[in-house]
Every structure is written in C-alpha cells, then in structure tokens.
Structure 1
Amino acid sequence: MAVSKKQLVLDTFDSKTTERVPVGFWFHFAKDEMADGLADPNVIEANIKGHEKLVNSFKPDFVKLMSDGLFNYPNEALKNLNSAKDFANIKPLDPNHEWFRKNVELVKKQISLLPEDVATFYNLFAPSTTIKIAFGFYGADKKFADFIKEDPDAVAAGLNVIADDIAKVARSVIREGGATGIYLSAQSIQDWRIGEDLYKKVIAPAEKKILEAANEESAYNILHVCGFEGSRNKLEWFKDYPAKAVNWAAVVEKVPLAEGKKIFEGKAVIGGFGNTVNDLLYKGTKEEIQAEAKKLIAEAGRTGVILGADCTVPRDISLDHLEWVREAAE
C-alpha cells in the first residue's frame, strides 16, 4: 500500500528509501506579494484563493504555504534605521500585535483547503532579509553592509530582537496553525565587504535561532538559500544550519543537487530546476523537461532528493510542465 504524500516527503527528509522521488513547486499568489495584508485584507484573500486553486489543480506532493501579504515585519523602528546605532532602538513587538495572530490564522485557512494529507511548510524570512525588505530591497545590500561595517555588534543585537519575534511566529504556526514546519528564506549580503567572518558573527546567529525555535516544535524544517534575481550565496556558510532540508538556486549558483548533497551532508535537498521564464522548466518541451528530471535524479540519487525549482516559479507557467516533472520522477 502506497504511503501518503506527507509520509513520502517526511521519509525523504529522513533520507529513507521511498517508492518515488517527490516533487514540489510554489508560487506567489497575491498580485503584489510585498503589499501590506494588515492594511489590505484583499491581499491575504488572494493568497488563500491562490493556494486553493493550486492544491485542487496540481495536487502537489507538499505545499509551501506562502506568506504573501505578511512579508513586512510591522516594527516601526525599522522605518528609522539611519545608522548602526539605530538598531539599538529595535524592540520586540507587543505580544498581542495582530501580525502574530494573522500569521497563524493564514496558516490555518491555507491548511483547511488541502484535499489530502500533505506536508506543509510556512514561508518566513530571516532577519537580514527582513531588514532588506524594510529598506525596499533594491540597493538595500549596500546600505545594510555600511551599517554592519560601522558597528557589527549593534546590528547583531537588533537582528537578534527581530529573530525572537520571527521565532515566535515559527513556533505558533507549527503548534497552533498546524504546519509541518517552516521554510526559512535567507540570503547572503550582496556586498563583498561582508565576508564569512562577519556573516557568521552578525547574520547567522539570528537565522539559526529561528530554525532552532522551529525545531523545538517539529523536526522537519527547510532552509532556503535565496538566489532571487541572480543573487549569489556562499553555500558553505550555511552548511551547519539546523534544518532538515535545504533548497537553493541550483541554476543561479551553478551548484547542482548532486554537488549540494555533498555540501549539505546528511540533509535532504530540494530543487534542481531554474525558476525564471528563461529556464527550461518554463519554456521546455515535455521531452526536454522529463529528460532533465531524470538526469537530476540519476546524478543526485533517489534518497534525500525532492525535485523543485530555485525559488517561486512564474505565475503563468503551465501546470503541465510541473506534472511532467512528477511523471518523470515516478
């Protein structure tokens, strides 16, 4: 008797032998995923409807629960970060702030739409990415790097406060919301001045804190090393992060699944395909896509491997292309 999709994915995370290689892809569902869902409930509603459409049409092997509409960490102090010393002004959110409640409510609604028992992982952003979102993302890395160079200890302290609040969300969406785990999106600072030593001193502790909090609630959590719009990362900096599985931009980083398995020894790996309109998954033929899927499996093996993409796939991608990958994986 075939195991459930959820058990299939959990067994893969545990690097057990499975009857087939699972497949997972994910989308942004709101028209503007960066929009403030606390101010405009329609953003949250679009997110929920998007999940419903996906799970009823593609029937994924697991679901990455998107946090579209709740990307923005609503801490007023982030609007006034003009120097490194301002990071000392970052204080925890009020425990009763609606942002905490809205995240749990969103996860509950998303999971209630699932027609079958599948593993679910809620998208959260690392504190450093949260800062970059607050800075408007474009050009944020240089500004952030300036602050780190100015006073790394002050920045680290501020990130630690943010991590505590995000860790609270991580715990609650698993314990109260019913998610299997979290999908934590992290990214190196895209500035040559922030090398490994500074990253591990200033950035990494806050990121690990969130994963450690999630691990207290569930053994199954995912680290995403984000290659959004061609951002590059030193994957070796993340190899000791306490996550059960890792997803990175295999195409952008030019680090295929087989090589990533060596870097992230003992962890399951997710991905393999590029996620843009210029990549094979979007524009390839059935024969091309299925040949690539089989090649990825042949290289990386059948245990501890989930086929997916570098990051979110284009909203208008044909679901047939995703199904072709699953057919090949079977």
Structure 2
Amino acid sequence: MSREELLNAFENKKEQEIPVSFWHHYAKDEFVPANEHPEITGINVEGHAKYVDDVNPDFVKLMTDGYFQYDFQNVTDVHDLHSLIQLTNIPNDYWWLKGQRDLIKKQKNVIHGKYSFYNVFSPVTVLKWALVDETKEPLTNGDKRFADLYAQSPELLHDVLKKIAGDINKQVDAAIDAGADGIYYSTQSIQDDRADNKDFFDYIQKPADFAVINEINRKAP
C-alpha cells in the first residue's frame, strides 16, 4: 500500500484496501529505562527491523520500550499530591527527549520508508503507572491510587496533569522533529468507580488528553 493510499484510508476517502498493522513490545520489560540499560535501544531497533521484514505491515507503530518511565522533576513522592504539585518541566536537552529522538531516527532507518506513528502516552496513564511498581504488583493498582489522589483534591490533580502534559508535548515535538510521520496517542480511563462519572471525565480526563491532542494536531496535522 502506498503512502497516498494509506492517508486516503485514514482520511475516510475512497480506498482500494484496508490498511493493516500489528505491534508488540520488543524488550522483555518495556518499563526499564534506556538511560540505565542502553542495550534496550538496540533490542528495540532490531525488533522493528525483523518485524517489518517478516510481516510487511502497511504502517508501523514505533514502540517506546525504554522510555515508558517519566521523570518527575523536583518531586520527592509521587504518591503525595503536595509533592507532585512541585513538579517542574524537563529541559529540551534532557536525556528522555534526546534518547527518543535518537531512537526514532534509528527506527526510521529500518522500516523501509513505511508510514510511522510514534507511541505517546497520556498524562493520566503516565501518572498512574508512576504510582505502581510493575515488578512487584499489578498495574491496575495504579488506577486505585490515581483515584485516591482524585478523591483528595481534584483541583491539585488537574494542575499536576497539566504540568505533565507540558512534557508530553515536548515528547510529541521531539518525535515529529526526529522523523515520525504522526503520533499514536495512547490514553486510558481509570478503572475505579470513583472515576467512572462525567465529572471526572470533564475535569480530569478530557483536559489532560486535549492538552496533548491539540499539540499533536498542531505539530502533525
């Protein structure tokens, strides 16, 4: 499938065939940070190369293995809202951004010119993952702890997510500047009864998502 045919399908125009792709993680533990385990970059890139050669998908989702962990600058305890609100944004030359730029360039070199979307997680997902130790407990515990923070102060949580979105937007900018054709924006609702309502969606989920979605649309329309 050509790039033009792919974009026609995405834009709901007449298409000759339905575009198909699949994706999976390449590292055994995608949460391990790449700055501490640089070998993950090679595993990631080699995995993309083999996958594209074997499967020949119509487009490629560029995986972020090694960059799942977000660094909460100036925060001493992510479980404490009053500590979280002290969050300061990462600089543009921070390893987390520089490393992803380098990763994307290497990924692009092995996917034979296929249209690519870089995987970016929502502020809500980034925070809930930070609230759990994935090596010792299920990730769903992060949902409960996120809801705990919401119950304590929706206002403070709203402000924390706004700050996180600022850094996710830097990630979006870095990805597009490095050569990704677009962004695969991964967002999830919080699996807890306290978050299963319109008030939560309107005040927490929607603003956090659109703070990033608007930047994606600006950077990669």
TM-score between both structures, scaled by the size of structure 1: 0.62
1:61 paired residue number: 58
Q: Could you tell me which of 6, 10, 14 is aligned with 2:11?
A: 14
State whether residues 79 and 134 of structure 1, in contact with CA within 8 Å, keep that contact through their aligned partners in structure 2: no
Q: Distance in 1 between matches of 2:93 and 2:58?
A: 35
Q: Distance in 2 between matches of 1:210 and 1:87?
A: 19
Could you list the runs of 5+ residues in structure 2 that have no partner in the other structure? 133-138
The reply to whether residue 73 of structure 1 matches residue 70 of structure 2 is: yes
CA RMSD of aligned residues (A): 1.4
Q: Given residue 186 of structure 1, which amino acid in structure 2 is its aligned partner? A: T
Aligned-partner SS, 1:120: strand
- Aligned identity (percent) is 34
Q: How far apart are residue 94 of structure 1 and its match?
A: 2.4
Q: Given residue 66 of structure 2, which amino acid in structure 1 is its aligned partner? A: G
2:127 paired residue number: 131
Give matches, 1:74-223, under 5 Å. 74-77=71-74, 80-115=77-112, 117-136=113-132, 137-174=139-176, 176-194=177-195, 195-219=197-221
* Residues 131-188 of structure 1, C-alpha deviations (whole Å, 9 max, x = no match): 12111234111111011111111111111111011111102211x2111111111111
Aligned-partner SS, 2:144: helix
Q: Given residue 126 of structure 2, which amino acid in structure 1 is its aligned partner? A: T
1:263 paired residue number: none
Q: Distance in 1 between matches of 2:190 and 2:111?
A: 36
Q: How far apart are residue 120 of structure 1 and its match?
A: 0.5
Q: How far apart are residue 77 of structure 1 and its match?
A: 4.6
Q: Given residue 8 of structure 2, which amino acid in structure 1 is its aligned partner? A: D
Q: How far apart are residue 66 of structure 1 and its match?
A: 0.2
* Residues 232-289 of structure 1, C-alpha deviations (whole Å, 9 max, x = no match): xxxxxxxxxxxxxxxxxxxxxxxxxxxxxxxxxxxxxxxxxxxxxxxxxxxxxxxxxx
Q: Distance in 2 between matches of 1:88 and 1:170?
A: 23
1:27 paired residue number: 24
Q: Given residue 97 of structure 1, which amino acid in structure 2 is its aligned partner? A: Y
State whether residues 75 and 87 of structure 2, in contact with CA within 8 Å, keep that contact through their aligned partners in structure 1: yes
State whether residues 8 and 18 of structure 1, in contact with CA within 8 Å, keep that contact through their aligned partners in structure 2: yes
2:44 paired residue number: 47
State whether residues 107 and 173 of structure 1, in contact with CA within 8 Å, keep that contact through their aligned partners in structure 2: yes
1:286 paired residue number: none
Q: Given residue 181 of structure 2, which amino acid in structure 1 is its aligned partner? A: T
1:323 paired residue number: none
* Residues 82-137 of structure 1, C-alpha deviations (whole Å, 9 max, x = no match): 3332231111112321111111111111011122x321000011111101211123
Q: Distance in 1 between matches of 2:101 and 2:38?
A: 15
Aligned-partner SS, 1:193: helix
Distance 1:217 1:80, change over 3 A: same
Aligned-partner SS, 1:148: helix
Could you list the runs of 5+ residues in structure 1 that have no partner in the other structure? 220-330
Higher-Rg structure is 1
TM-score between both structures, scaled by the size of structure 2: 0.92
